[in-house]
Amino acid sequence: MAGRMQQILTKTKGDQVIWGVVLVLSFISLLAVYSSTGSLAYRMEKNSNYYLVKQVMVLGLGLLITYWVHKINYTKFARVAVILYLLSLPLLVYTLFFGTSLNEGSRWIRLPVINLTFQTSDLAKLALFMFLARILSMKQAVIKDLRKGFVPVLLPMLFTCALIAPANLSTALMLGITCSILFFIGRVQVKHLMLLFVVGLMGVSTLFVVSKLTGFGRAKTWEQRIEDFAGGKKKEGKPEDVYQVQQAKIAIANGGITGRGPGRSLQKNFLPHPYSDFIFSIIIEEYGLIGGGVLMLLYLLFLWRSILIFKRCPFAFGAFLAVGLSITLVFQAMLNMAVNVHLVPVTGLTLPMVSMGGSSIWFTSIAIGIVLSVSKYVDEMEGEKKSNAKRAAEAVNEEDIEEVEEETVIDEKNEEVAVEALKTAAKPERKPRKQIIKGDTPIPAV
């Protein structure tokens, strides 16, 4: 068993700390999902282990996807990025008008043959950052120029966010913020970023007004969520968002510092979605603030290791690819945690690699695999440099040894000459020989 494990570890390349973080997050996911799906299994008349087995299969496939993607040379993703981005746009349009509705928003589409549903925004998010990394790397020479550099980078983000926003404003805003961070890292001028902020604010305001007047979109839901978060007037009944936040607060209060213990959560029976949007509050209730802090540190550790990959990668595309995908993943995790502790309004974003899911985990696995692919390339490149430097040092050492041997021979000859001179000085003076003594050759110059 140990030998097989060693073989697996030798085949996994890239940053080993990121691999460790992914494995620990997967283990936490299994514990949290198994604990939080008891009521769901009862309502759906399923076995209590049904959703645990399903999550094991989803995460197992996700790890295989990560492993397969990280074996690919990351430069090939530059070509794939264009195809994925062009594919994501019509899928977003189709989802907006014909997708499966949830909470007055169309976010999902169902694949007819395999009967699999997935959020097209997950695909669009992955495709967008791959595409932006490609364009940013190509426009570095003119990135300070508004028309030649910034506008070609900006347009793909605007198209994607505009198609996602009517049904999923939180994801669109998250993409806008993370893309702006990537633009800043990519040396875009601050005044251009401020212009982007103004354009984005105008776009969101226009979308809200149009949705409010026409009834198309989710203006009522957005307005209600902001009012609930700000503590405005409560409408009759129990809005689901307010109820979820209240139950999440109770769960966090029950958890305290050390938590109630694995599987002993009480609020999982009251929260509508304890296994997805509000799984972080269940983790705190069972493992306390210590468990929640450890989970947060895992995401920050992932981001830190990705930043190190960014700093070590000498090529722009790989650097932007690694840091862009890691920032959006960690930023989504922080938003989910902020919702659970009521720092921001309810968004509907899941906790990456922890919340129960299917296609969302697989798209996240692809993103992590790409980051590891860049890390693998950097490690191989640095290893090759070290081996070349070692070979060069060995060659220099061999030359030094030859020179030392030559110097030793010369020193021995000098000693022989000195000894002969002393002997000659001690003997009575003789007439010089006419014949040159054989072997009396000049000392070679050192």
For β-strands 100-102 and 105-111, DSSP reports them as antiparallel
Query: What does pTM read for this prediction?
Result: 0.84
How many residues does the structure list for the chain? Answer: 446
List Cβ neighbours of 98 (8 Å cut-off, separation of 6 or more): 106, 109
Q: Check if the beta carbon of residue 90 is closer than 8 Å to that of residue 391.
A: no
Distance from the first to the final alpha carbon of the chain: 62
Position 104 scores a pLDDT of 52
The pLDDT of residue 24: 97
Residue 254 half-sphere exposure toward CB, CA atoms < 13 A: 18
Rounded Cα distance between 37 and 356, Å, is 9
Cα distances from 250 to residues 74, 169, 239, 244, 439, in angstroms, run 45, 27, 17, 10, 102
Would you list the DSSP string of 89-123? HHHHHHHHHHSEEETTEEEEEEETTTTEEEEHHHH
Name which of 23, 412, 347, 416 is nearest 175 in CA terms. 347
User: Which residues, in sequence order, are bridge partners of residue 106?
Assistant: 101
- 8 A C-beta contact, residue 172 and residue 104: no
> Quick one: which of 84, 171, 99 has its CA closest to 129?
84
Dihedral angle computed from the Cα positions of residues 262, 263, 264 and 267, in that order, rounded to the nearest 10 degrees: 120
Per-residue CA distances from 264 to 33, 40, 261 (Å): 13, 16, 6
Closest to 374 measured CA to CA, from 325, 322, 312, 330: 322
Show Cβ contacts of residue 324 under 8 Å, excluding neighbours closer than 6 positions.
Answer: 129, 132, 133, 178, 182
> pLDDT value at position 439?
34
The residues that bridge with 101 in the sheet, in sequence order, are 106
- Rounded distance, CA 150 to CA 184, Å? 11
Q: What is the rounded CA–CA span in Å between residue 305 and residue 310?
A: 9
Residue 105 has phi, psi (to 5 degrees) of -130, 135
Distance from C-alpha of 46 to C-alpha of 348, rounded to nearest angstrom = 25
Per-residue pLDDT of the chain (446 residues; tens, 9 = 90+): 555 556 666 678 889 999 999 999 999 999 999 999 988 888 888 888 999 999 999 999 999 999 999 999 999 999 999 999 999 999 999 888 887 765 555 577 877 666 677 789 999 999 999 999 999 999 999 999 999 999 999 999 999 999 998 888 889 999 999 999 999 999 999 999 999 999 999 988 888 888 888 877 777 778 788 877 777 655 544 466 688 888 999 999 999 999 999 999 999 988 888 998 899 999 999 999 999 999 999 999 999 999 999 999 989 999 999 999 999 999 999 999 999 998 988 888 899 999 998 889 999 999 999 999 999 999 888 888 888 888 887 777 666 555 555 555 555 555 565 556 555 555 544 333 333 333 333 323 32
Shortest CA distance to 195 belongs to which of 131, 150, 160, 165? 150
Determine the pLDDT at residue 440: 31
CA distance 383 to 368: 22
- Report whether 80 contacts 69 (CB < 8 A): no
DSSP-assigned states of every residue in 290-331: HHHHHHHHHHHHHHHHHHHHHHH--SHHHHHHHHHHHHHHHH
How is 238-258 classified by DSSP, letter by letter?
Answer: --HHHHHHHHHHHHHHHHTTT
Given its phi and psi angles, is residue 355 left (phi above 0), alpha (psi -120 to 50 degrees) or beta? beta
**Beta carbons within 8 Å of 81's beta carbon, 6+ residues apart:** 127, 130, 131, 133, 134
